[in-house]
Amino acid sequence: MRTTLAELRKLLDEELVSDRSSLPISRRFYVQDGETPDLLWHYTSAEGLLGIVSGGNFRATDVFFFNDLSEVHYALGLIENALPEVRSALDPGPATQVLDRVIGLIGAFRQSPEFPYRMHTVCFCEEPDLLSQWRGYGALGGGFALGFSLKAMLEYIRGTELAVSRVWYDPVDQSQLVRETVACACKTLLRVSAKVEHRRDIRDLARQAGSYAFQILCQLAVALKSPAFREEREWRVVDYVPMDRAVSFVVRRGIVVPYIPLSLPLWALQRVQIGPTLEPHSALRSVKEVLRGHCLDHVTVDFSAIPLRG
């Protein structure tokens, strides 16, 4: 009995999101193979500290409104440069049709960047006392780093639409993630195409597989960053938001920035690091009062080792 195109499309969808396809590549990218830190640190201002402790809500910023927009273009450029190399290693056929679809979508996207959905993120670092971060959040004193248990956060987001990702800085690792994602999408198509009788159906399925690979690459773009920022050892909690979902706005450095409130468990908060300040004793007392008022007495409070020059 002949398999219809609609049945093949459904089968391909199921295969693409299964453990046999390209999604496990992004799972490896998200679920952190290898060593992971006990705590991840979120740098914030005094206002941010109060907002998080009082409600457990973070402001997850649209990736196109990060302080350094060049990182989005860096990731897209890296992806675009890696794809022709992947294509040149393939024999003409369904796999190259997938690559042609991805290359076309990436090229169009570079001309007019618009992700298939909004990507909002909350940023964390492995390091609790970085001068570069204090300059951004507490140049005049008043900055804080909140230390959250990574294990607790991963348990909390399991089964949700959120993802936790390490940021990748090594160009070799970055290129490998791109190549593996596309290669697995191609292999999935080839596995499904064994059931295809008509060439035009293969072309249709290749476009479908290419569009899927493009979406995975857009997800990867959130965590591919220039090696110049390696010191940050950054991680991100990412929420993929439909384009028609309402967002909130805040003004930063004279720019209106879209964000969504993102809840993370306060029971995962383990430590608070007070940034460089001219009034350490007042800061310590006030932070402990805030924590006590929200039943967070278990949280340890420390000081930055970096002096603030008044």
Say if residue 169's pLDDT is above 80. Answer: yes
Q: How far apart are CA 124 and CA 232, in angstroms?
A: 9
Token pair for residue 196?
């295809």
- Render pLDDT for 261-282 as a digit per residue (tens, 0 to 9): 999 999 999 999 999 988 889 9
Say if residue 302's pLDDT is above 90. Answer: yes
User: Would you give the DSSP letter of residue 266?
Assistant: G
Q: Is residue 173 part of a domain?
A: yes
Confidence of residue 26 (pLDDT cuts 50, 70, 90): low
Q: What percent of the chain has pLDDT over 90?
A: 26
Mean pLDDT confidence for 174-179: 82
Q: Is residue 308 part of a domain?
A: no
- Render pLDDT for 222-270 as a digit per residue (tens, 0 to 9): 888 888 888 889 999 988 888 888 899 988 878 899 999 999 999 999 9
Q: Is residue 141 part of a domain?
A: yes
Q: Please write down the long-range contacts of 11-16, taking CB distance under 8 Å and 24 or more positions apart.
A: 11/192, 11/195, 12/188, 12/189, 12/192, 12/205, 12/208, 12/209, 13/208, 15/188, 15/191, 15/192, 16/185, 16/188, 16/209, 16/212
User: Would you give the DSSP letter of residue 21?
Assistant: S
Mean pLDDT confidence for 70-82: 81
- Render pLDDT for 146-155 as a digit per residue (tens, 0 to 9): 999 999 998 8
Confidence of residue 22 (pLDDT cuts 50, 70, 90): very low
Number of compact structural domains in the chain: 1
Q: Is residue 54 part of a domain?
A: yes
Segments in 37-162 forming alpha helices (H): 46-55, 70-88, 94-111, 131-138, 150-157
Query: Cβ–Cβ contacts within 10 Å for residue 204, how many?
Result: 17
Q: Is residue 310 part of a domain?
A: no
Say if residue 1's pLDDT is above 80. Answer: no
User: Would you give the DSSP letter of residue 274?
Assistant: E
Q: Is residue 309 part of a domain?
A: no
- Give CA angle at 165 (164, 171), nearest 5°: 175
* CB 43 within 8 Å of CB 143: yes
Q: Is residue 93 part of a domain?
A: yes
pLDDT of residue 40: 96
* Mean confidence (pLDDT) of the chain: 82
Token pair for residue 269?
């908060």
* CB 248 within 8 Å of CB 258: yes
Q: Domain span at residue 152? A: 5-303
